[in-house]
Structure 1
Amino acid sequence: MVDFPSPSLPSRKAAELFGDPADDSEPLWFKKSSFLSSDFDPESYISDLRSFVPLESLGAELRSHLAVLKSELVDLINRDYADFVSLSTRLVDVDSAVARMRAPLADFRDKAAAFRSSLDNSLSSLRSGQRQRAEASAAREILERLLDTFHVVSKVEKLIKELSSAHSDGASLDGVNVEKDRLSNENSFQPTENGTTVRVTQSILLERIASEMNRIKFSVSNAKDLPFIVNMEKRIQSATELLDHSLGHCFTDGLEHRDEDAIFNCLRAYAAIDDTAAAEEIFRTNIVAPLVQEVVPYSQSEVIDETASEGLEEDYKKLMQCIRKDCKFILDIASIANSGLHVFDFLANSILKEVLLAIQKGKPNAFSPGRPTVFLKNYKSSLSFVAYLEGYCPSRAAVSRFRSQAVYVDFMRQWNIGVYFSLRFQEIAGTLDSALVVNTVTPVENLYNNPGKDKILTLKQSVALLESLRSCWSDDVLVISCSDKFFRLSLQLLSRYSTWLSSGLVARKARKSDPSSTSEWAINAPIEDFIYVMHDVGFLINELSGRYLEHVLHLLETCSTDVLVLVRRSISLAVSSLEASLPAVMDALIDGIAERCVEDLKQLKGITATYRMTNKLPVRHSPYVSGILRPLKAFLDGERLVYLSKKLINELLHSTTERITNRYYEMAADVVNLARKTESSLLRLRQGAQRRAGASSDALDNNISDTEKICMQLFLDIQEHGRNLAALGVKATDIPAYTSLWQLVAPEDKQSQILL
């Protein structure tokens, strides 16, 4: 028996860290079953555990497990040691036993090999037979297809002969009918009946031939490289040409005589051979082209008739009548349910194609956007015409097929809407820009002769803006497919006007002009013109928020709700920009009137010179007082004030008088303060001189000072100014500056109460 040393146990700290129990049992992360797995990899095992188990703890646990395994191995050996030692004594005559078992096993192996060889031979024979059978089947299928092709070609040739005989019989019958028609008018309807019978018979034969030709095409497509098919190509080609010629002739004849049965059979024949383009072209050249050339004459030489009118509206009306009268019959035939004729598109490939060709050659200038008004009329007329054609489509799927045709796409491509919008943009934006670049505001002509003055615009600049905005959404300009571009143009026009207005007001307030900008108008404009500006801005705000917005939303009513919300919000922002300029316009009005009134206030400085070093006392108000509010009164009595509301007039009156009074107070305070400083300096000089002379100052104290005289005069003046304010309907006591001015110059006994 062998004894192995016991491994050292992991430290207490590691055991506590990884949750090991306090006794000698292995930790939870150590799984003995992992070593018994068939795909056990020591490196992977260690790399997986080392991320959360220290290598020292792992090594200690592995050594402990190794010691346990060795101990178990020693126990097993010691337990069965006697049997292990006696094993060699039992192995007697082992070679003889092996030789006896080898012979039958070798015999069984030889038999199994022979049987397997037999099975392989049988399987190879079966596979060879199956391959030969498949080849024979394929050859038979090809042979049957060739025979079928031969029979079908022969059948087609036979049917073509029958077609020729029917055609000749029909021709002779027509000759007989013509002779009968000469002899008697009683049988005049008979040729038509017989002719119709011949055409229907021919069309039925042609439909059968077309069906058989479809079979030939299918067979040829699957065996086109075979010599037999190559040798038959001439016969097939000849039959195809005869079919095309006969079918075209029969279809043309049916169209000329409006034989619906013959047309129906011919269309089915064209559909069978998948040659719809030929039928559409025959209908175009024989029926549509003559009708269109009567309305829009053109020649193949492509010589343009310069005298021809460029308008298309009347031409489209005539074309609609022609389609309704002479083309509807084939459209009805092609739309028969379950007929298989839905593959034809006579609307696009026959009618619209011929109309496009006629316009391109007969009226090419109709597509030119160089004359926007004519172009738009033609474009809208064309859309109406296309919508009329779509009315003949029996379903939405048919409308989608019609719009997907190359002719339809080419027709719509002729109308260059992008160039049209560019021209309209230059026209509309150029009109407004020309009105805004002038250096003065221009009133509308005959402005005072209009009785509804509150319902009109007064300045040509504002009129140009509103007309430009309305032009963007007028029927004579708007293309609904470009409504987003026209809406953007509308916002640009409003922004341009708002910039023109705000830049002018800023320049006037700063008293600084910029030759490169459009602000000269505000600097050069007399103050009365800002009444027009105030009126027009208010009018535009009401118009844009009311009728104009509703008109735009009505035109865009087919758009989604989100789009309509964005449109409303965008116009509201533009209106807000105009509203933000109203206070600046009012301020310009107030500032301009106040400047005129302050001109007379400058005479206030002469009061100092009047009462300095004199015994003169003021007895009445100064003459300048009567002229302070004279410009304001003249402004309020002007004819232009009718363009302002009573609310605005009242606001203008109170704000202007307040600003004038503020300026009055500032100038009076300067005069009084200066007088007091001067008087104080003079008084100190006099007192010094008197003290040096030993004179008494009692006499000086009893005299009225110059400052008091000046204040007395100013007091009389502001009383008159208050009365003038009252005459205009303004209470002087409501103006804080007037109260301050009263307290500045009024005697002490009159400080508490303002009496005018």
Structure 2
Amino acid sequence: MVDLRSPSLPSRSAVELFGDPSGDSEPLWFKKSSFLRADFDPESYIADLRTFVPLESLGAELRSHLATLKSELVELINRDYTDFVSLSTRLVDVDSSVARMRAPLAEFRDKVAAFRIAVENSLSSLRSGLRQRAEASAAREMLERLLDTFHVVSKVEKLIKELPITVSIGPNADLVHVEKGILSNENSLHPAENGTNFRVTQSILLERIASEMNRIKFSISNAKDLPFIVNLEKRIQSATELLDHSLGNCFKDGLEHHDEDAIYNCLRAYAAIDNTAAAEEIFRIVIVTPLIQKIIPYNQSQIIDGSSSDELEEYYQKIRQSIKSDCKFILDISSIENSGLHVFDFLANSILKEVLLAIQKGKPGAFSPGKPTEFLKNYKSSLGFLAYLEGYCSSKSAVSKFRLQAVYVDFMRQWNIGVYFSLRFQEIAGALDSTLMAASVTPVDNLYSNQGKSQILTLKQSVMLLESLRLCWSDDVLVISCSDKFLRLSLQLLSRYSTWLSAGLLTRNAAAEDFIYVIHDVGFLVAELRGNFLTHVLQLLESCSTEVLDLVRRSILQAVTSLNDTLPIVKNSMVEGIAERSFEDLKQLKGITATYRMTDKLPVRHSPYVSGILRPLKVFLDGDSVVYLNKELLNWLLYSTADRITGRYYEMAADVVNLARKTESSLLRLRQGAQRRVGASSDALDNNISNTEKICMQLFLDIQDLLEFAKFNDSVLLQGCIALFFNIISPAFSACYFALNYPCI
């Protein structure tokens, strides 16, 4: 019967699934094979397991494994113990056995040693033979090279003898040739065609000779000291001279007649013998020198003193035209792809070299930085000319090669930019410094005819600063390669102007009008430098990296911020200047005490000094320079000045009243003591008005008149003055006023 209670699938015990902790089975994480690995490391093994296995469990498992290994070792020893013990019984007559085995082994060793000696002798002989064979091969190779050199030298001499003989047909006629001593007969070619054929034939033959000469140089490169080569040196030298002479004449002839085929072959010949300098020099002398001397004469017989200036732009224009019409053909030939003529640099070593020589001899003043304006024009014109020459380069690598030429470096070294900047520095910085050294600020001419125009500068010092800054970055002054120096100069100019404002100007007791000009100009300069000036500078340096542009922007803005930080100092100095003038009249306030001391006189009108307290402020507001202040700044200046004046007024009035009270209290005590001694009544004294009350009455009248005087200006000033003046009126002043029935304000 089928047991319905049992499942249809075979069941698995819990021990199979989870392991039996009480049994001998090892856990899944414990691998015995790990101990047998060659790279087993106990520390790393424990470090890997301790992340998920407690150290106690690991230690217990290792101890269990050790016990198992020990028991297995004991079992192995016990299993083979009988064989180990019986081994000693079987070892009988071992010495005789060893003696019998030793004899054949010794014989075999002797045979091996003898064979080794024979092999080494054979190997030595073989190596000696191979060495002799290599030496013979090298000698044979050298001999073949020497023979080849001899044959090539003979071949070159033969080819040189086969060069056509040139015959001139008249002074201006083309060249014809005589080959192998036979003159052209009447059936020969037309003279022009004949001359062309001659040049081409000669150039082809010269190219072939040049290639053979190149073979000679290669052949003798490693055999210079051999007697055979020494004996050939005279012949090789003679052949070289003949080749150079013939190749030079052929190349000159090809240049004079613009024979491109002959020129191409001659250039290949020069490239083959690695003598590019000779071709470049011949082209300079034959073609470039006459052209440049027509434009810039530099021979003493050609120079006419005072005939022209040292400006180079006009000469460069003519040189460009000459290059385009008379030199472009060879530049095109030397730039033909896969021609091998890229080794020539006619731009630098022929054209630029001759131009530099002509300027040095014919226009030496062009390089002089003593005239900065002309020097900069010539420098920029020269850079433009170099850029024009670079336009003939076929690739970026060609441009780089052109700029690395010694002539190019020498040409750029002629322009002493360091001296030029020093002169410009003295010119620009000196002009600003001399302006700032003036005894006082100097308004610009026709200043008041421009009233109401906020987009102007009012002081010559400020105008000179802005002109100097703009001059640093103008096209007539700036050299881009020295832009870092001109940036530093700009920052120095701003720093010098800021120092003049914060230190020099404030120590001269300048008038309030001067401070108005300074405040206006600083505001205008800050706006201009942060706007148009900064934009112009960044546009000039747009080719620089983003990091450089950001550094330039932050440096200029930081300098402008430093300039703007001088405004609070200038404003406070102007307020102090106006207030100090008012303080001269305030000093008369102390005379009130003497006026009412020991007298029955009562105050009935304000003091004379009151009208002079705000007069400096009124004079300031009536001045023509106020138009250069905006309304917000003007209100601030009025309020600050009024606050400064009334603050001092309050301090002086309080001191006068307090001193009067102390004096009166002392006198009152003395009088009361005297009256008590004589028994007199104090009623009469009590009914009198004290000096302190009289002083307070006078001060109140003065304050009233001061408030009336303040109404001369707009409501903003009036409100500020009234608020401040009412703070001056102490309770004692107003109490005296009401007690005497004075009219209320």
Is TM-score (shorter-chain normalized) higher than 0.5? Answer: yes
Structure 1 position 584, deviation (Å): 1.6
Q: In structure 2, do the counterparts of structure 1 residues 332 and 755 end up closer, same or farther at CA, with 3 Å as the change threshold?
A: farther
Once residues 452 and 149 of structure 2 are traced to their aligned partners in structure 1, the CA distance between those partners, rounded to angstroms, is 91
Deviations 1:254-308 (A, max 9, x none): 1111111111111111111100000000000111111111111112899995765
1:91–1:364 distance in 2 versus 1, CA, 3 Å:
same
CA separation of 1:621/1:452 partners in 2, compared to 1, >3 Å: closer, same or farther?
A: closer
In the alignment, is the contact (CA less than 8 A) between 2:145 and 2:219 conserved in 1? yes
1:91 pairs with 2:79 = no
Q: How does 1:462-481 map to 2 (within 5 A)?
A: 462-481=462-481
TM-superposed deviation, 1:590: 1.4
Distance 2:176 2:343 in 1: 39
Is the 1:311–1:366 contact (alpha carbons within 8 Å) kept by the matching residues of 2?
Answer: yes
Query: Which residue is equivalent to 1:586?
Result: 571
Q: C-alpha distance in 2, partners of 1:225/1:687?
A: 138
What pairs with 1:663-678 in structure 2 (closer than 5 Å)? 663-678=648-663
User: What amino acid is aligned across from residue 200 of structure 1 in structure 2?
Assistant: V
Aligned to 2:673: 688
The 3 A distance-change label for structure 1 pair 750 and 253 is: farther
State the alpha-carbon separation in 1 of the partners of residues 103 and 686 from structure 2.
166
Q: Which residue of 1 aligns with 2:541?
A: 556
Structure 1 residue aligned with 2:130: 130
Task: Show the counterpart of 2:181.
Answer: none
CA distance in 2, matches of 1:668, 1:431: 51
**RMSD of the TM alignment (CA)?**
3.4
Instruction: Give distance in 2, aligned partners of 1:287 and 1:648.
Output: 74
* Mean Cα deviation higher: 457-466 or 98-107: 98-107
C-alpha spacing 1:575/1:103, structure 2 compared with 1 (3 Å): closer
The structure-2 alpha-carbon separation of the partners of 1:717 and 1:268, relative to structure 1 and needing over 3 Å to count, comes to same
- Counterpart of 1:519? none
Q: For 2:698, what is the secondary structure of its paired residue?
A: helix
Taking the aligned partners of 1:640 and 1:431, their CA distance within structure 2 comes to 26
CA–CA separation in structure 2 for the residues paired with 1:175 and 1:481: 52
Who is 1:5 aligned against? Answer: none
Partner of 2:602: 617
Equivalent residue for 1:629? 614
Is the contact between residue 607 and residue 710 of structure 1 (CA under 8 Å) also seen in structure 2?
A: yes
Cα separation, 1, equivalents of 2:505 and 2:675: 60
Give 2:735's aligned residue.
747
In 2: Cα distance, 1:615 partner to 1:483 partner: 82
Q: Which moved more, 1:475-484 or 1:220-229?
A: 220-229
Q: 1:737 to 1:300 in 2, by over 3 A?
A: same
Out of 518, 534, 545, the position equivalent to 2:519 is: 534
List runs of 5+ in structure 2 lacking aligned partners.
1-34, 36-77, 178-186
How do residues 345-744 of structure 1 correspond to structure 2 at under 5 angstroms? 345-450=345-450, 453-504=453-504, 507=507, 522-523=508-509, 525-729=510-714, 730-732=717-719, 737-744=724-731
**In structure 2, what is the Cα distance between the partners aligned to 1:629 and 1:734?**
10
Deviations 1:388-408 (A, max 9, x none): 111110100000000011111
Would the alpha carbon gap of residues 709 and 144 (structure 1) be closer, same or farther in structure 2, given more than 3 Å must change? same
Q: Deviations over 1:469-517 (max 9, x none)?
A: 122111111111111111111111111111111113553xxxxxxxxxx
Aligned residues of 2:432 and 2:465 also touching (Cα < 8 A): yes
**Correspondence list, 1:30-429, <5 A:** 90-91=92-93, 104-105=104-105, 108-109=108-109, 111-165=111-165, 167=166, 190-299=190-299, 308-429=308-429
Give per-residue Cα distances to partners, 1:356-398, cap 9 Å, x unaligned. 1111111222112122112111111111111111111010000
Aligned in 2, Cα 1:490/1:251: closer, same or farther, shift over 3 Å? Answer: same
Identity %: 73
Residue type of the partner of 1:652? L
Q: 3-state DSSP class of the match of 1:547?
A: helix
Contact preservation (8 Å) 2:696, 2:736: no
Q: Corresponding residue for 1:55? A: none
Deviation by residue 1:153-179 (Cα, 9 ceiling, x = unmatched): 2222222222235x46999995789xx
Q: Deviations over 1:195-219 (max 9, x none)?
A: 2222111111111111111111100
Unmatched segments (≥5 aa) in structure 1: 1-32, 34-74, 178-186, 508-521
Indicate if the aligned counterparts of 1:280 and 1:350 stay in contact, CA closer than 8 A. Answer: yes
| Structure 2 CA distance for aligned equivalents of residues 577 and 548 of structure 1 | 16
- Contact kept in structure 2, 1:289 and 1:354, CA below 8 Å: yes
Q: Residues of 1 paired with 2:723 and 2:108: CA distance?
A: 133
Q: TM-score, normalised by structure 2?
A: 0.81
Deviation at 1:574, TM superposition (A): 1.4
Q: Is the 8 A contact 1:495 1:574 kept in 2?
A: yes
**What's the offset of the Cα at 1:136?**
2.4
User: Is contact 1:302–1:361 with CA below 8 Å preserved after alignment?
Assistant: no
Report if the CA contact (8 A) 1:199-1:250 is conserved.
yes
3-state SS of 2:163 partner: helix
SS at match of 1:206: helix
1: CA distance, partners of 2:720 / 2:120 = 130
2:349–2:407 Cα contact (<8 Å) kept: yes
CA contact (8 A) 2:159 2:209 kept: yes
Name the CA shift for 1:731/1:636 in 2 (closer, same or farther; >3 Å): closer
Task: Report SS of the residue matched to 1:528.
Answer: helix
- TM-score normalised by structure 1 residue count: 0.80
**The 10-residue stretch of structure 1 (335-344 or 602-611) with the greater mean CA deviation from structure 2:** 602-611
Given that residues 196 and 259 in structure 1 are in contact (C-alpha distance below 8 angstroms), is that contact kept between their aligned partners in structure 2? yes
Give me the whole-angstrom Cα distance separating, in 2, the residues matched to 1:168 and 1:280: 26
1:100 and 1:715 map into 2 onto residues whose CA distance is 150
SS at match of 2:228: helix
The whole-number CA distance in structure 2 between the counterparts of 1:405 and 1:290 is: 23
Cα displacement string for residues 589-614 of structure 1 (whole angstroms, at most 9, x for unaligned residues): 21221222233333323333333333
Question: Would you say the 8 A contact 2:707–2:722 is kept in 1?
Answer: no
Give the secondary structure class of the aligned counterpart of 2:512. coil
CA contact under 8 A between 1:203 and 1:262: conserved in structure 2?
yes
Tell me the distance in 1 between the aligned counterparts of 2:176 and 2:261.
24
Paired residues of 2:639 and 2:720 also in contact (CA < 8 A): no
SS of alignment partner, residue 339 of structure 2: coil
Contact 1:733 1:739 in 2 (8 A): no
CA distance in 1, matches of 2:101, 2:552: 102
- Cα deviation, 1:39-80, whole Å, max 9, x if unaligned, reads xxxxxxxxxxxxxxxxxxxxxxxxxxxxxxxxxxxx9xx999
Relative to structure 1, the CA distance from residue 618 to residue 237 in structure 2 (aligned partners, 3 Å threshold; closer, same or farther) is same
